[in-house]
Amino acid sequence: MSHFTIRCRKCGKELKDVYCAFCEHCDNALLLTEYSDPLRNDLGEGIWKFNWLPVHTPSFSQPGTVVYRSEWLARHCGLDNLYIAFNGYWPERGAFLHTCTFKEFEAAVVLQNARENGVKGLIVASAGNTARAFAHLSIVSKFPVLIVVPMMCLMEMWYLESSSMVPTLAVGDGDYSDAIDVAKRIAAISGFPFEGGVRNVAKRDGLGSTILEAVSVIGRMPDHYFQAVGSGTGGIGVWEMCERLLRDGRFGDRLPRLHLAQNSPFVPMVHAWEQGSRKLFDEDLRPELIGQISTRVLSTRYPAYSIQGGVFDALTATSGKMYGVTNREVFESMEIFSNLEGVDIVAASGVAVGALIQAARSGKISPRETVLLNITGGGEVILGRERKRYNVEPMFLSKKITDKEIDETLCSILKPN
């Protein structure tokens, strides 16, 4: 008997034996996993020690988040109780995510959940980190994936294994959102489902495992939570986990305040939230703005903001804040963190650190409150000294590709060796 059910957040309909499903009544609402038991953290190793994941019998290992209390960045920000959730490669701290990103958690849970639901393969769209995580865990778990990325992100991308081992396609004339569109079309033709993005409950619960590790270390939910967001899926996953923790009753009596950040000038969710609007503004989604930011991984024009159960609702429920962090602030924050904490971080993590510094300076958080900073990626410099990394060498296609051309491409890249 399963330890979880899946229910529509809007209409309450329960769905059984589904993979990444949509509610037949509510096409603009997220499904939600409901777990029958209180939280446990003694079931295995890494993220698999938690029972609040939609899997039954994990078939491969997966390291989890490392949470520790900061001393030097805390002093810099004037905070007494700053905890850092480090998601990357930092052996000295016990962090062993070889892809250097918390996207490993979503990939691990999504792949295991798909396998348990009888899925034979997945189509995945990514702007970088998700591709690396799925490519690596596809090989580790022996579960086939086909990855679609925008060409504009290739300079920042790398794999742990040769890309010849994982079929990868690059959209040469589009951005991340165009890659998502192409991936969905490929899924419709290939017979392999689209991984699902924010609608995949396994993805959100996997990303939400970070807060489960945090409460295991801190003993309760933090007062404030900081993270950089692109689609917002990670922030939503943390909010959903905190709702479960609130109902559990052992980890506090109020939700953490979400502090979510984007890289200026591409800040569609920041502007919408500041205006109290559930709807994003078209002028904030202009593709040319994406070319002006340093964090292409945060650049989707399809964020999960307006959907029922999305970022707008998460911010509303937690009295949250949103921040725009400039490129200069990103790089300054990366240097500050590296100098003070002793490990390199990726640019998206620099966005989160920049938001924390803004909040501390403006008095939005008090010195004695408990703060959790999610470093979503780091340790690439350390890993580079120990392990070879490969450039991504994809097959190129156009966002205007025809269905016939998709079929021909699939025959070419998926043919037996």
Q: Is 18 helix (H, G, I), strand (E, B) or coil?
A: coil
DSSP conformation letters of 367-387: TTSEEEEEE-BB-HHHHHHHS
Maximum Cα interatomic distance, the chain, rounded to a whole number of Å: 61
CA distance 62 to 137: 9
Residue 416 has pLDDT above 60, yes or no: no
- Percentage with pLDDT > 70 across the chain: 98
* Mean pLDDT of all residues belonging to the chain: 94
Cβ atoms < 10 Å from Cβ of 162? 14
Please give the Cα distance from 406 to 330 (Å, whole number).
38
Residue 336 clears pLDDT 80, i.e. is over it: yes
Contact status, residue 144 vs residue 179, Cβ threshold 8 Å: no
What confidence tier does 415 reach under pLDDT thresholds 50, 70, 90? low
Q: What is the DSSP string of 219-242?
A: SS--SEEEEE-SSSHHHHHHHHHH
More confident call, 410 vs 26? 410
Could you give all domains of the chain from N- to C-terminal order, each with its CATH number?
66-93+206-383 (3.40.50.1100)
Among 289, 302, 63, 272, CA closest to 179: 302
Helix and strand element counts for the chain (H, E): 13, 17
Pull the structure tokens for residue 57: 């019998």
Q: How far apart, in whole angstroms, are the C-alpha atoms of residue 282 and residue 317? A: 25
Q: What is the amino acid identity at position 119? A: V
Question: How do 321-325 and 224-228 pair as beta strands?
Answer: unpaired
**Arithmetic mean of pLDDT, 96-121:** 96
| DSSP symbol at 37 | S
pLDDT band at residue 417 under the 50/70/90 scheme: very low
Q: For 215-271, what is each residue's pLDDT tens digit?
A: 999 999 999 999 999 999 999 999 999 999 999 999 999 999 999 999 999 999 999
| Length of the chain, in residues | 417
Pick from 151-160, 240-249, 313-322, 349-358: least confident = 151-160
Q: Which residue has the tokens 């742990």?
A: 160
Go through 361-394 and write b for each residue having 16 or more CB atoms within 10 A of its CB, e for each that does not: eeeebeeeebbbbbbbbbbbebbeeeeebeebeb
State the Cα–Cα distance between residues 146 and 138, nearest whole angstrom: 10
Say if residues 337 and 73 touch (Cβ distance below 8 Å). Answer: yes
Enter the DSSP assignment of 164: G
The CA dihedral of 17, 22, 23, 24, to the nearest 10 degrees, is -100
Lowest mean pLDDT, pick from 27-31, 119-123, 143-147, 284-288: 27-31
- Please give the DSSP secondary-structure letter assigned to residue 101: B
**Burial of residue 284, with CB atoms counted within 10 A of its CB: 0-12 exposed, 13-18 middle, 19 or more buried:** middle
Q: What is the pLDDT of residues 208-217, one digit of tens each?
A: 999 999 999 9
Q: Is the confidence at residue 22, as pLDDT, over 90?
A: no
